[in-house]
Amino acid sequence: MWFFGRKWPSGFSSSSTAEEVTEGIDGSGLTAIVTGASSGIGAETARVLALRGVHVVMAVRNVDSGKNVKEEILKEIPNAKVDVMELDLSSMASVREFASKYNSLGLPLNILINNAGIMASPYMLSKDNIELQFATNYLSPFLLTNLLLDNMKNTARESSREGRIVNLSSSAHRHPFPGGIRFDKINDEAGYGSIKAYGQSKLATLLHANELARRFKEEGVNITANSLHPGGIHTNLFRYHTVLSGFANTIGRFKFKSVPQGAATTCYVALHPQVNGVSGKYFEDCNISKPSAYGEDAELAKKLWEFSLPLTNP
């Protein structure tokens, strides 16, 4: 049960579900990529977008699981347009392959939802030898977004419809390492803390959306970029952290959102007309919220962008 259901300016609250916040919205003619759509709030996001008529491309690491989700969606929504494509965010080669294949299909791209992520993993390196949470939660989505931007810009221009980029951050962005981003110590194992590293990666995700929004405004591009905290949802994100998982299984079941509630803010930011023209904002519970001081630091966002470019160039 989720107790805190007070409605805020949008008319929605923490207890709203993804279906409720998109009720009456016609998404036909739109195409969206949802990363991490084979489980949890990613799968629910894909289902609800498909329910509203959006052509959904599920970008997933486990293709078999993705196909199972697709089958479930089609059982409920026989006319849904859903495709499954492989994407492993722990590998930049996989990101490049996905983007190349997607762009070669000639599909438009109206909405990009950077949903996939991992939480509080032990110290590990990605396939590109970068600390795994920073690589998976931020750096690969940064690369993916850049590789798909030309498509999004063309789609926005040719369709005269606003494009939207939605980055899933977290309230954990408020608790990164001192200084926010450890630019000189991204791979430092000695100073690694799984929760702080998660907070760092989610701060980076938020700053990425902010810098995209700034650049889009400067270029006069009809695309928005926003970030959000979906709320606490007991999904397989907790698989690396037994203490958090134990909390979620006991006290957390009274405090955590359901998966439909957890997907609500994503679907709201991706589809709702109230968000038209809104960019560079951080959302919680389907309403604009105030991020941390680091999350509002425009110079930190610019520094992160410049830091990320050489790391993602082959």
What lies within 8 Å, CB to CB, of 104 at 6+ separation is none
The residues facing 11 across adjacent strands are none
What is the DSSP code (8-state) at residue 135? I
| Separation CA 64–CA 49 (nearest Å) | 21
* Alpha-carbon dihedral angle through residues 80, 84, 85, 87, given to the nearest 10 degrees: 110
Q: From CA 12, how far away is CA 2, in angstroms rounded? A: 14
Rounded CA-CA distance 72/52 in Å is 16
Catalytic annotation present for 192: yes
Among 102, 192, 268, 282, the active-site one is 192
Q: How many beta carbons lie within 10 A of that of residue 91, not counting itself?
A: 18
CB 224 within 8 A of CB 216: yes
Name the nearest CA neighbour of 200 among 178, 176, 179, 183.
Answer: 176
Taking the C-alpha atoms of residue 268 and residue 52, their distance in angstroms, rounded to an integer, is 12
The 3-class SS string of 89-108 reads CCCHHHHHHHHHHHHHCCCC
Strand spans (E) along the chain: 31-35, 55-60, 82-86, 111-114, 163-168, 223-229, 282-284, 287-289
Which residues have a catalytic role annotated?
192
